Amino acid sequence: MSDAKLTLISHHLCPYVQRAAIALAEKGVPFERRHVDLSAKPDWFLSISPLGKVPLLIVKQDDGTEAVLFESTVICEYLEETQPGASLHPADPLTRARHRGWMEFGSSILSDLWGYETAKDAATFEAKRKVLVDKFGRVEAELSEGPFFAGEAFSLVDAVFAPIFRYFDVFDTIAPSGIFDALPRVRAWREELAARQSVGLAVTDDYADRLRVFLQNHDAWLLKEAA
């Protein structure tokens, strides 16, 4: 067992878990990782997760007791406030508030992405695709010259969007979406994040295989598009 004081309760595919894992890696903080099966949630997990969701961060305190944090944004903010390493939020309050807004925008994209990847017919699939094109268009208008969301410094906004782009790394091997075709800044940002070590380490090596199994289990139209 590790002597790490932080344990990240995870699921192999959860993008919200990945946010926290990326933040931990960017901070250079040692931590343990424990995966749970969300289709058969163990009692110990349900007893400490008020929403029955991941991620959870278990914080071992100096007196030996453990505190449990839930919700990815809360976890990331806690890490930013308490851990050493590079700052992942801007120092300026107004810029920091805007970053938090774009983190929420990323969460809204994840909601649409769920509909896109689980769509069972062509009409629903195309409707969700168009929503994603529009939302990424808004992101394109916000981006500067990069390489990251706000320029040279990696931030929590980058940690939010990296797991979103990872979905498309798998989807594009099945059928091209065309979502990013007219978005050069988003494409460059996506490539930069994919090459980031913290992003690569946020998932297990079998992530792509697990995501394909997920699509099969949900009878995803995306797979039929490729047929």
Q: For residue 168, is pLDDT > 70?
A: yes
176 preceded by a cis bond (ω within 30 of 0): no
Segment 47-71 shows an average pLDDT of 96
Segment 100-129 shows an average pLDDT of 97
Segment 13-20 shows an average pLDDT of 98
- Does residue 14 carry a catalytic annotation? yes
Segment 111-131 shows an average pLDDT of 97
Segment 55-64 shows an average pLDDT of 95
- Average of per-residue pLDDT values in the chain: 96
- Confidence (pLDDT) at 3: 53
Segment 24-28 shows an average pLDDT of 97
Cβ neighbour number for residue 204 with a 10 Å cutoff = 13
- Confidence (pLDDT) at 4: 65
- Confidence (pLDDT) at 57: 98
- Confidence (pLDDT) at 2: 42
- Confidence (pLDDT) at 1: 33
Segment 36-53 shows an average pLDDT of 97
Query: What residues contact residue 78 under an 8 Å CB cut-off, 6+ apart?
Result: 57, 69
Domains of the chain by start residue, with CATH = 6-82 (3.40.30.10), 93-226 (1.20.1050.10)
Among residues 6, 8, 13, 14, the one annotated as catalytic is 14
Q: For residue 89, is pLDDT > 50?
A: yes
- Confidence (pLDDT) at 225: 79
- pTM of the full predicted structure? 0.96
